[in-house]
Amino acid sequence: MQEPVNSLEQKLSQQLSFIYKDITLEQSFDDIARSLIAIMRLKSDFTIAEPFTNHWSEKDVILITYGDSVIEKDTAPLKTLKTFLDDTISKTINSVHILPFFPYSSDDGFAVIDYSSVNESLGSWQDIQAISKDYHLMSDLVINHCSSRSVWFDNFIKGEGIGHDFFFTALPDEDLSAVVRPRTSPLLKEVETGKGKKFVWCTFSHDQVDFDFRNPEVLIAFTTIIRQYLDMGVKIFRFDAIAFLWKISGTPSINLPQTHEIVRLLRSLIESAEPNAIIITETNIPNTQNLTYFGNANEAHGIYNFSLPPLLLNTLLTGSCLYLKRWLMSMPPSQDGTMYFNFIASHDGIGLRPAEGLLSEEELGTLVQTIEGFGGKISWRTSDNGEQKAYEMNISLYDAMQGTTAGKDQWNFERFVCAHAIMFALEGIPGVYIHSMLGTQNDYKKLEHTHHNRSINRRRWDKELLSQALEDNNLHHKKVLSSLSSLLEIRINQPAFHPNATQFTLHLGLQLFGFWRQSQNRKQSIFCISNISNKPLALPLSELNLVITESWTELISGAEITDLTEELLLEPYQTVWISNK
């Protein structure tokens, strides 16, 4: 019978024994565990954290942004970002995800050259700390790969120094046919090194070389990085591309058991060092696989709700909530200690893999064609049988809402706000892309300059031009910012919108999408209903079974509901939040 684990050292040793069970190591598991504990400045007999604790509330909303999404002359972009946060969103958004702010060589930051420093073109660690003092700071841990221009990879090529044994290699004649890829580039990169010709594994691009976590020194190196980020004020860790971490030739090399155990081990270290710190895993994979990263409330605190963006977009472009409702009904409630991270736009495009098995091939094809008609671009991947499949739709969310599958119409703004009203009310923590808050449209200039499809939704706003746009009543930007801010101001004051509050899907037909939220103390109920069509629709309040002894208010308009037998007329894409408090 296995002895109960009652100390951090024992727990880490057990986790290490599982991760490296098939690998001969020079160090014992206990020695490695003690090294990790020392790096994190902990004690070996540290008490293990309680896993079912929520470190969040309805007041948590995360803004997703690059460090230089807003720029001004002669000012470090991170300082400009801090000013933007303070002046524009601080009343409604308390957290900020600054996308990789380190020196990099490609992929807008996700090919990291140096994990320990801030990109000089953005600012300094002091600027990062200044933001972390006023906002919950979320940072990427780009843990699967680094830049081919990093010192570590230079040492790999030389065959000596730190990093010389950090990278995963394979042979071209190995069976790699089952490997799951998000890109169409060759998996292996041929490199001449001081130890001869090597073939380096590159999941994403040949500038992004994959680490070999079979070497525990890689794990130790990333523990040092995590400790530094905690010291700099990072409280939320986004584990980038974590699903691809552990590789075994002859397998899909995605979501392997060792990967899950490494996430659990890093959680053990992080929450022991900072009890309120949070891990969110970024796994752009089919929905059922994504859910496994919750573990038993001992793995990721949060997972990206990757199926939401394509399903919600499909709902609003087709005028039918069939697939969105079916998916929502199938989603398990997040147990205490875990939460969904909801988003509908980000620095990446709208991924289609998480919609596989949820939308039919015909539905996916129609969605892709519609987005192309709205000026979007499509990124492709190679499937198991060698077929080219749409992997991601690249478009600004505002432009993605220009119309329906029938073409463009006059409801762009209303449809866009409706999408956010739905997302803000769902179980989980909402993440809002800065370009959604600002109603930014497709950036064709940047796309033409970089020739990378994702650039279409990564505009850099000149601060002066942005200020002018937000003051111009003839432009939509001011209206978008005001509308989304108003919705968030309501959201953060409703206990029923706690990320772990109860949620049930309502059955109101295919053109009215609705769900019910109830606060954890059961005192507040909110019925969240959206007209997802381009026609006015009547909502019979009798279908909601509102308790007659309660007083009901529509939170968005502030209107009191006095007659529970009446019908509410919902204009195209209008949302109502009907609450008893």
> Which positions are catalytic?
240
Whole-number Å distance between alpha carbons of 159 and 476: 56
Q: How far is CA 451 from CA 374, 531, 579, in A?
A: 18, 38, 48
| C-beta of residue 144 within 8 angstroms of C-beta of residue 240 | yes
430 contacts 424 by C-beta, under 8 angstroms: yes
Cα separation, 61 vs 293, whole angstroms: 22
Q: How many CB atoms lie within 10 A of CB 516?
A: 18
Residue 196 Rama label (left phi>0; alpha psi -120 to 50; beta): left
Q: Give me the residues paired with residue 392 across strands.
A: 351, 379
Which uninterrupted H or E stretch holds 269? Answer: helix 257-273
| 129 membership: H or E segment, kind and range | helix 125-134
Tokens 């660690």 found at: 125
- What the block records as the tokens of 257 is 């058991």
Instruction: Work out the number of other CB atoms within 10 angstroms of the CB of residue 518.
Output: 18
Residue 240 to residue 247: CA distance in whole angstroms: 16
Distance CA 558, CA 560 (A): 7
Tell me how far the alpha carbon of residue 180 is from its chain's centroid.
Answer: 20
Phi (first) and psi of residue 492, to 5 degrees: -75, 0
Contact 235, 277 (CB under 8 A): yes
| CA dihedral (309, 102, 69, 450) positive or negative | negative
The tokens describing 94, both together, are 């308390």
Residues 267-305 as b/e (b if ≥16 CB within 10 A, e otherwise) read bbbbbbbeeebbbbbbbbbbbeebebbbeebbbbbbbbb
> CA distances (Å), 418 to each of 294, 514, 528, 530, in order?
29, 12, 11, 7
| C-alpha–C-alpha distance, residues 430 and 168, integer Å | 36
One-letter identity of residue 406:
A
Q: Which residues lie closer than 8 Å to 544 by C-beta, 6 or more apart?
A: 506, 527, 578
Cα–Cα distance for residue pair 225/222, rounded to 1 Å: 5
Cα–chain center distance at 427 = 15
Q: What's the per-residue H, E or C state across 192-213?
A: EECCEEEEEECCCCCCEEEECC
